[in-house]
Amino acid sequence: MTSSRAHLRWGILATGGIAHAFTSDLRTAGLSVQAVGSRRKEAADAFAASFEIPSAYGSYEQLVSDPDVDIVYVATPHTLHAEDAMLALEHGKHVLIEKPLTANAREAAAVREAAASRGLLAMEAMWTRYLPHMRRIHELLDAGALGEVRTVFADHTQSLPTDPAHRINALKLGGGALLDLGIYPVSFVCDILGAPTSVLAQARLGETGADTEVATIFTHAGGAVSTTLSSSRAAGPNTAHIVGTDARIDIDRVWYCPTTFRLSAPDGTVIEEFSSRVDGRGMQYQALAAEEIIAAGDRDSAILPIDESVAIMATLDKIRRQIGVRYGADGPDGS
């Protein structure tokens, strides 16, 4: 990425944990945070005080109506992403929408069309894609360092609260391991191999009907295969691997955060080792990318185009239909 960016004024929509992490990284990178909005004015005030944000609003409508806000980071639960992104777009704001883009592909396509019709950027905040180690991995892939990539596998597994009211277990909030955790490895294998040509999934459902474990097997164009595993009840290795005919890449724990990886020959000889040096969590890279895209006069991310985000949501829809998980926003066919 170049150093040219738009120097946008950010608005933060919602004040939960992910909004705190993102805003902290914006501050680390020296980006401008102009306003925050919450459904509760006291929550917005507290958030604004924590990050020295000039304006705090007790409604999302007030936030997106602020003429001093250029771009809105949508940090609400999954099932509200489409509604809140649409609100910002309707008020002429670019949007960076926390992953997953929406609750299903139908909503994702509607956000895409709304942004395109207004000449605005709508971008999924899959921050992992923008991290330095992932950019180096793509350089190696583009250079043919792995030969033919035959398989990719990754897990995102954590031990999260079992409380039925917690958002990870609440279907009305898009709860379940898949959309919260599994989207990371699903997006990763799509990034490396392209959209799957076939999808097989198995899952375990929890007490609320939300998925607690999901395993997938995908095939991709050219015959490559991939596997992913997500769990909200048990923490696994959280590593990822790309295996080619000439070499493999092993990404260490925690692979979807700034970390190390090794490029190794088939006999195990290490050809290259890469270590990320990142200030903060690393969420600022996606924000910097958004500013660069807008400064260049573009309205889509080359690293994660909106069409690809919609296609990933369609894959997640297929998985949910196979495992029997439905949300209130889903249509009659489960999408």
Catalytic residue among 41, 99, 172, 318: 99
- 169, two tokens: 């277990």
**Which three-class secondary structure state does DSSP give residue 161?**
coil
Whole-angstrom distance, CA of residue 18 vs CA of residue 39:
16
Whole-angstrom distance, CA of residue 79 vs CA of residue 18:
15
Cα distances (angstroms) measured from residue 242 to each of 19, 245, 314: 31, 10, 23
Using the Cα atoms of residue 136, residue 294, residue 189 and residue 98 in order, give the sign of their dihedral: positive
| DSSP secondary structure of 225-284 | EEEEEEESBS-----EEEEESS-EEEEPSSTTSS-EEEEE-TTS-EEEEEE---SSSSTH
Whole-angstrom distance, CA of residue 75 vs CA of residue 31:
18
Which residues neighbour 49 within 8 Å (Cβ) at sequence distance 6 or greater? none
Would you call 99 a catalytic residue per the annotation?
yes
- 134, two tokens: 């992932």
Question: Residue 229, CB half-sphere, CA atoms under 13 Å: how many?
Answer: 15
Helices (H), 120-223: 132-142, 177, 183-193
Would you call the peptide bond into 254 cis, given omega within 30 degrees of 0 as the criterion?
yes
Instruction: Catalogue the active-site residues.
Output: 99
